Amino acid sequence: MGLQLFVPTFRVDECLQEIKECLEKGWTGLGFKTVQFEEEWKKYTGLPNAHFLNSATAGLHIAIKVLKMKNGWGDLDEIISTPLTFISTNHAISYENLKVVFADIDNSLCISPEDIEKKITDKTKAVLYVGIGGNTGEYTRVVELCKKHGLKLILDAAHMAGTRLNGEIPGKEADVVVYSFQAVKNLPTADSGMICFKDFENDELCRKLTWLGINKDTYSRTSSKGAYKWKYDVEHLGYKYHGNSIMAAIGLVQLKYLDQDNSYRRQLSVWYDKNFANWSNKIKPVMVSEGCESSRHLYIIEVNNRDELLLALNESEIYPGVHYRDNTEYEMYLYANGTCPRTHYLSGRILSLPLHLQMTKKDVDYISDKIINYSK
């Protein structure tokens, strides 16, 4: 197997007990456990609303769709986003016929407030902020920037389950926050996500849109009384984006261990930091921003010969990853190529090292030694 980038850890017996309850009750779809998980997530994060979905990609799309509908945005209005992210971040903007305007990144690999300000036009409606690797970057400055220019703020928190900023779960300042519970995330299920709108009205609309535009879900129809409980209306052209109780059952168990698991990820990162401390001229870890207690979904280093190093590590059965390729190099976003030089430069130099709960200090030391020896 070697040392893989991600290996999720599941509390198998506890997960099976939660799933068994769904099977015995005969309720595996929307409702039951999804409702429980939403309530637990609101308690954990302090966010006012939470809706469980089948993926974070669905969440990002619905976030933008709801804001577009509620605020009367037109086709080809603009959202400023980062080019250093998984492609679904920017596809979500394109799904709604809005234009992705790319702003460059800073040292934390998060979007730069300075470059956001340069890219604002009279067509700009929102900023989409990605907390890459669990880092908060200059999030608070971006919050202020959005207030100053009257822009909506969408927080792509796919990597941020459990991240805290100055002791608080970030996102209460945003119009909407989207989390990922995909198979290798810090809170892994098989695939699912959570969308958390600031406003209750937006949450309400979102719930209809994720259930095909239907105005009553099957769970509430089952628990209501009367001859017409089957009768519903279809108010919108919606999607089949809601989550199910099997995924929520796994999520409920994983949530109990999230802070403990993230604490161990931070310990692994500290060991990496110590190993690379004397090699800063060759190996430069991406530092966590001040005040940020990162989920540490990723441990990223910047090196000179990234692609050669990657191949050399593979030969030693170490399998790192790259997060991410500059999105403006993809065919459909080539119109923005050259607009974010720092992203272009760094995306050819960054490497994500193995970081998961089944690793030991010995594993970290082995990986570090291989990287240091190659760098010599």
The predicted structure's pLDDT at residue 226? 64
121-143 pLDDT tens trace: 999 999 999 999 999 999 999 99
Q: Give me the pLDDT at residue 233, please.
A: 92
Q: Is the pLDDT of residue 360 over 90?
A: yes
The strand ranges marked E within 188-273 are 193-197
Q: Domain limits of the chain?
A: 3-256, 258-375
pLDDT of residue 62: 98
Residues 196, 171 contacting (CB under 8 angstroms): yes
- Asked if 267 and 356 count as a contact pair (C-beta separation under 8 A), the reply is no
Average confidence (pLDDT) over 220-238? 76
Of the listed ranges 45-49, 115-119, 174-178, 214-218, the one predicted with least confidence? 214-218
Give the strand order in the sheet containing 283-285.
Answer: 283-285, 300-303, 350-352
Q: What are the residues facing 207 on neighbouring strands? A: none
**For residue 221, what pLDDT is reported?**
58
Per-residue pLDDT tens over the stretch 195-208: 999 999 999 999 99
Name the architecture of domain 3-256. 3-Layer(aba) Sandwich (3.40)
Question: Architecture of 258-375 per CATH?
Answer: Alpha-Beta Complex (3.90)
Say if residue 223's pLDDT is above 70: no
Q: Give the number of residues written for the chain.
A: 376
Phi and psi for 4 in degrees, rounded to 5? -85, 155
Q: Are 110 and 102 in contact (CB under 8 A)?
A: no
For residues 186 and 223, the model is more confident at 186
Do you find a cis peptide bond into 324, omega within 30 degrees of 0? yes
> CA dihedral defined by 93, 213, 234, 66, rounded to 10 degrees?
-50
Residues in Cβ contact with 224 at an 8 Å cutoff, skipping those fewer than 6 apart: 216
Decide if pLDDT at 230 tops 90: no
pLDDT in tens, 138-189: 999 999 999 999 999 999 999 999 999 999 999 999 999 999 999 999 999 9
Strand (E) positions, the chain?
3-4, 51-53, 78-81, 99-102, 124-130, 152-157, 164-165, 176-180, 193-197, 283-285, 292-293, 300-303, 318-319, 350-352
pLDDT tens by residue, 13-62? 999 999 999 999 999 999 999 999 999 999 999 999 999 999 999 999 99
